[in-house]
Structure formats: C-alpha cells, structure tokens
C-alpha cells in the first residue's frame, strides 16, 4: 500500500495561460515544454485505514495548506472511498515561486498513488488526472520535449522528441525565493476576465505551437528561440494588462533579460523564458551553459543559479 515516485518540473516554451473550463481545469489552448533532469520532487504515498485523515509532509514539515489539492488528486486516482493517506514530499528546489514545483509534485503524486492503490493506469490517464489539478503538471509525466493539446473534453499529452535528441541546457536564475503574490490559477482567471489582450493571445497559440514543434523536430535553435521569447512576452503582456495588473517580475528579472539580450547580440545561442514568478530561465546549447550561468550570476539581485539538462518523465522509485 506504499509507493514512491519521482518527477521533475517542466518549463513551458509555448505557455499555458487561461482555462476553457475552470471546473475541470481544462486549458484554453495547447502548450509545449521541456522536462528538466536535475531539479526533482520525490513523493511517497502510503494508504492506511489507521490514519484519522490524510497527512501531508513537505520537506520534513507538516503542510496543511497544500493538503486539500493533494487529497482531491488522490480521490481522482484511487476513488473517494479510498483509505486515508500519508503523503511525504521532498524536493531540491523552492516551492510556489515560479519554478513549477506543483508540476513535479502532482506528476510524482499520481504515479505513486496509482501504484500504491494497485492500479495499472497508463501515463496519459495519469497525466489527465494530474492536469485536472495543476494544468502544467500533465506535461511532467513525459520526458524531453512535450506537447499538450486540448479540446472541450480532455487533453492529450506526448513526447515529441526525447531529451537525448536535442540536449539543451536550462540555466535558472532565482531572483526571489518567497511564494508568489497571486497563484497562477487565480491570475489566469483574472486575465481572461479583464485583459484586453486575452483573446488575441489565444488566437495566436496554434500558430506558435506549429512553429515551436517544427523548430524542435528540425532542431532549429534560432526558430525555437524567436517563437518562445515572443510567446513568453505575449503571456506577460496579457498579465500586465489585466485588472488589477499581475506583475511577477522584479528588477533582477529585467537585468537577467538584458544579460541574455547582450549574449544574443554577441552571437551566443541562448534565449529566455519566464513563468508565473520572477525567475528567469535561459535555454542554451550545452557548450554555452558556463558562460550563460556566469552572466546571470553577475546580475544584481540574482540569489542563485541552477543548471539542468533535459530529462525523463515521472517514474516509480524503489520504496525505501
Ligand atoms: O499549471 P499551473 O497552474 O501551475 O500554471 C502554469 C502556468 C505557467 O507556468 C505560467 C505556464 C506553463 O505553461 O507552465
């Protein structure tokens, strides 16, 4: 009745921003991401009738704040008549700060819970459950370059190129470690309700996805860089024009952006993306990673940098 799983966060290059169905948490448009390898979340799930209720421990401390979403996810995997569960989560990077910790957490959770409940669910079914709680987590079930498509009833997710096919490096500049001021879910709903740019953002998503997919399949760095940066800045423009505005950046985010621009002007293969938080993620060819990291380390306000290659999707671990 106990199982352990690991998943890594993913970084969207073509972003998910907006829901077509809030109740089912269905994204309004498709997205495309890369799954990382060196940042991870490990989850253990143990079902037991002896527990008074579900219990969640995150990095060795009891956590009641995230428990309702975790319990709802377990209900979807194992049914509402399941035994109570002890869930233990450990990660090696900050949570709720725009580093996609919920993506790796829910991806690892569904894999561990399904095994602990002695089910034989396939990866897509588990991705759909994870995605119904945290939209981006559906992509962390898969490795490498991952595309998510959506329609009015469900999502489809698949790896379009394995990590080894195009081993890009992601350098993350952490510019603030606290939790974000507005959750991405709440911010998306606000954008849809009030941003004058929301409808054109959605209209352009299919074309951006075609361009990014084509760039990945042809390993065309310049094309992937151009469409990814444009897509990221469009998403943040939607947020900035929302009422009240949603601004996740700080001054260090802008300094990092400027540093990436400077490297690009010198001819280096690097581009940036930013999610619902102030961290900047620079994507580059592996032989540029040291240079990109030192440039970001030198930016005022950068707390630390982390480097990751691309990795595999969520998977079971041997239980200790
Ligand atoms: O899945 P959520 O609710 O954490 O939202 C993710 C939103 C972005 O990270 C900004 C974009 C994305 O596609 O991951």
DSSP string, 97-126: SSS-HHHHHHHHHHHHHHHHTT----HHHH
Please check the confidence at residue 169 and state whether its pLDDT lies above 80.
Answer: yes
Give the mean model confidence (pLDDT) for residues 280-307: 97
pLDDT for the residue numbered 275: 95
> Which one has a higher pLDDT value, 178 or 129?
129
Query: Residue 184: CB within 6 Å of ligand 1?
Result: yes
pLDDT for the residue numbered 220: 98
In testing the pocket of ligand 1, which one of 8, 9, 12 has its CB within 8 Å of the most ligand atoms?
A: 12
Please check the confidence at residue 250 and state whether its pLDDT lies above 90.
Answer: yes
- Ligand 1 atom with minimal separation from the 136 CA: 1
Beta bridge partners, 281, equal 172, 273
- Are 99 and 64 spatial neighbours (Cβ–Cβ below 8 Å)? no
Nearest CA residue ID for atom 8, ligand 1: 275
Give the mean model confidence (pLDDT) for residues 79-105: 87
Burial of 49 (0-12, 13-18, 19+ CB in 10 A): exposed
Mean pLDDT score of the chain: 96
pLDDT for the residue numbered 93: 83
- Are 73 and 87 spatial neighbours (Cβ–Cβ below 8 Å)? no
How many whole angstroms from 183 Cα to the centroid of ligand 1?
10
Give the mean model confidence (pLDDT) for residues 275-289: 96
Q: Residue 215, preceding bond cis, omega within 30 degrees? A: no
The dihedral region occupied by 96, where left means phi > 0, alpha psi between -120 and 50, and beta the remainder, is left
Ordered domains of the chain (ranges, CATH)? 2-164 (3.30.230.10), 166-308 (3.30.70.890)
In testing the pocket of ligand 1, which one of 190, 246, 276 has its CB within 8 Å of the most ligand atoms?
A: 276
Distances 254 to 223, 234, 259, 277, 312 between C-alpha atoms, Å: 23, 16, 9, 13, 31
Query: Residue 272: CB within 6 Å of ligand 1?
Result: no
Q: Are strands 169-174 and 55-58 parallel, antiparallel or unpaired?
A: unpaired
How confident is residue 143, by pLDDT bands cut at 50, 70 and 90? very high
Residue environment code for 283-305, b if the CB has 16+ CB neighbours within 10 A, otherwise e: bbeeebbeebbebbeebeebeeb
Determine the 3-state secondary structure of 224 from DSSP: helix
Please check the confidence at residue 96 and state whether its pLDDT lies above 70.
Answer: no
pLDDT digits (tens, 9 = 90+) for 12-55: 999 999 999 999 999 999 999 999 999 999 999 999 999 999 99
Please check the confidence at residue 98 and state whether its pLDDT lies above 80.
Answer: no
Residues with Cβ within 8 Å of 265's Cβ and at least 6 positions away in sequence, in order, are none
Query: Residue 276: CB within 6 Å of ligand 1?
Result: yes
| 264/302 Cα distance (integer angstroms) | 20
Q: pTM surpassing 0.85?
A: yes
- Ligand 1 atom with minimal separation from the 15 CA: 13
pLDDT for the residue numbered 137: 97
- By C-alpha distance, which of 73, 36, 54, 76 is closest to 314? 36
How confident is residue 180, by pLDDT bands cut at 50, 70 and 90? confident
Query: Residue 136: CB within 6 Å of ligand 1?
Result: yes
| 250/107 Cα distance (integer angstroms) | 29
| 50/27 Cα distance (integer angstroms) | 38
How many whole angstroms from 50 Cα to the centroid of ligand 1?
36
> Which one has a higher pLDDT value, 177 or 229?
229
């Amino acid at each position: 009745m106990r199982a352990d799983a690991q998943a890594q966060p993913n970084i969207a290059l073509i972003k998910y921003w907006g829901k077509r169905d809030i109740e089912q948490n269905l994204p309004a448009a498709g997205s495309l991401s890369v799954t990382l390898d060196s940042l991870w979340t490990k989850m253990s799930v143990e079902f037991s009738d002896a527990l008074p209720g579900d219990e969640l421990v995150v990095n060795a401390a009891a956590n009641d704040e995230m428990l309702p979403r975790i319990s709802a996810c377990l209900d979807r995997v194992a049914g509402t008549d399941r035994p109570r569960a002890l869930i233990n989560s450990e990660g090696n990077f900050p949570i709720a700060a725009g580093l996609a910790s919920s993506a790796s957490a829910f991806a690892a959770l569904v894999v561990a819970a399904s095994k602990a409940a002695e089910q034989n669910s396939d990866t897509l079914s588990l991705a759909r459950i994870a995605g119904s709680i945290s939209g981006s987590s559906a992509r962390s079930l898969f490795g490498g370059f991952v595309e998510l498509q959506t329609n009015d009833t469900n999502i489809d997710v698949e790896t379009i190129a394995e990590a080894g096919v195009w081993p890009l490096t992601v350098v993350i500049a952490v510019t603030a470690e606290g939790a974000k001021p507005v959750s991405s879910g709440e911010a998306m709903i606000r954008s849809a309700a009030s941003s004058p740019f929301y409808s054109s953002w959605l209209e352009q998503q299919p074309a951006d996805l075609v361009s990014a997919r084509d760039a990945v399949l042809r390993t065309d760095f310049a094309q992937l860089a151009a469409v990814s940066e444009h897509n990221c800045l469009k998403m943040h423009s939607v947020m900035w024009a929302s009422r009240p505005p949603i601004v996740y950046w700080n001054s260090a985010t802008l300094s990092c952006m400027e540093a990436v621009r400077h490297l690009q002007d010198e001819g280096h293969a690097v581009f940036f993306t930013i999610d619902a938080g102030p961290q900047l993620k620079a994507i580059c060819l592996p032989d540029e990673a040291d240079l990109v990291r030192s440039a970001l380390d030198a930016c005022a306000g950068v707390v630390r940098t982390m480097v990751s290659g691309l990795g595999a999707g969520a998977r079971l671990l041997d239980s200790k």
